[in-house]
């Protein structure tokens, strides 16, 4: 009975989410090339990003090897920018894209890059330690449809529930000159 109680408690706390332990982080990772500004192209919805558009993540390496993280998005409902600042630390080898990140110490989450354009560092697919977290990031506020479709298929075949994916509007970033002038990204046809 005690074991069952502990299991039920753990399931309540963790939500019995499936672990991404079987998804390997990118090896041969170059943290210096990963630094800078990334645009959020696709994501799974979460309360901390609810209704935010023009979402970006900016990474900066510190002298001690840790990484400063600044996530930013615009809330149309509040008519203001929301910012979250955090810090990430490698869980081991700094050439493996597996980090722990905190936005509210002492609580940490996993930041795992599972797919990366190693040639140009132009896009990345990121998750956490469960299948509840998923992002596609790009160096530009929009991504060509072929690359996006390929990354969505990679995610689907890796076990992510693609019925949950949403595509935050990046048109505000494009209008501000942060990227090429273009129409906002829309969900590709199935």
What are the domain boundaries of the chain? 22-175
The answer to whether 148 and 41 are in contact (CB under 8 A) is yes
**188 or 125, greater pLDDT:** 125
Residue-averaged pLDDT of the chain: 86
- The owner of tokens 């795992």 is 112
- Tell me the per-residue pLDDT of 79-106, one tens digit each, with 9 for 90 and over: 999 999 999 999 999 999 999 999 988 8
Q: Does domain 22-175 have CATH number 2.40.128.20?
A: yes
- Please state whether beta strands 98-104 and 80-90 pair in parallel, antiparallel, or not at all (unpaired): antiparallel
The per-residue pLDDT for 15 is: 52
The CA distance from 19 to 190, in Å, is 27
Whether the pLDDT of residue 183 is over 50: the answer is no
- The owner of tokens 């595509």 is 167
Whether the pLDDT of residue 6 is over 80: the answer is no
The answer to whether 26 and 119 are in contact (CB under 8 A) is no
For the chain, counts of helices (H) and of strands (E): 4, 8
Nearest to 123 by CA among 95, 150, 96, 93: 150
The answer for residues whose C-beta is within 8 angstroms of residue 30's C-beta and 6 or more apart is 95, 121
- Tell me the per-residue pLDDT of 12-65, one tens digit each, with 9 for 90 and over: 444 557 888 889 999 999 999 999 999 999 999 988 888 899 999 999 999 999
- Tell me the per-residue pLDDT of 124-133, one tens digit each, with 9 for 90 and over: 999 999 999 9
Share of the chain above pLDDT 70, in %: 84
Q: Helix, strand or coil for residue 109?
A: strand
- Tell me the per-residue pLDDT of 105-130, one tens digit each, with 9 for 90 and over: 888 999 999 999 999 999 999 999 99
> How many CA atoms does the CB half-sphere of 163 hold within 13 Å?
0
The per-residue pLDDT for 10 is: 39
Dihedral, 144, 151, 97, 16 alpha carbons, nearest 10: 140
The answer to whether 97 and 26 are in contact (CB under 8 A) is yes
Nearest to 171 by CA among 163, 183, 159: 183
The per-residue pLDDT for 190 is: 34
């Amino acid at each position: 009975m005690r074991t069952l109680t502990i299991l039920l408690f753990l399931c309540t706390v963790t939500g019995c989410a499936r672990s991404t332990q079987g998804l390997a982080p990118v090896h041969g990772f170059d943290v210096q090339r990963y630094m800078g500004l990334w645009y959020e192209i696709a994501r799974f919805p979460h309360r901390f990003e609810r209704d935010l558009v023009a979402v970006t993540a900016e990474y900066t390496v510190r002298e001690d090897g840790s990484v400063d993280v600044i996530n930013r998005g615009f809330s149309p409902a509040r008519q203001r920018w929301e910012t979250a600042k955090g810090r990430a630390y490698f869980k081991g080898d700094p050439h493996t894209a597996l980090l722990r990140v905190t936005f509210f110490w002492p609580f940490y989450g996993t930041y795992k890059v599972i797919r990366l354009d190693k040639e140009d560092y132009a896009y990345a697919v990121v998750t956490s330690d469960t299948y509840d977290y998923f992002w596609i990031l790009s160096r530009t506020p929009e991504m060509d449809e072929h690359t996006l479709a390929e990354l969505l298929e990679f995610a689907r075949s890796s076990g992510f529930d693609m019925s949950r994916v949403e595509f935050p509007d990046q048109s505000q970033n494009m209008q501000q000159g942060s990227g090429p002038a273009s129409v906002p990204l829309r969900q590709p046809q199935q």
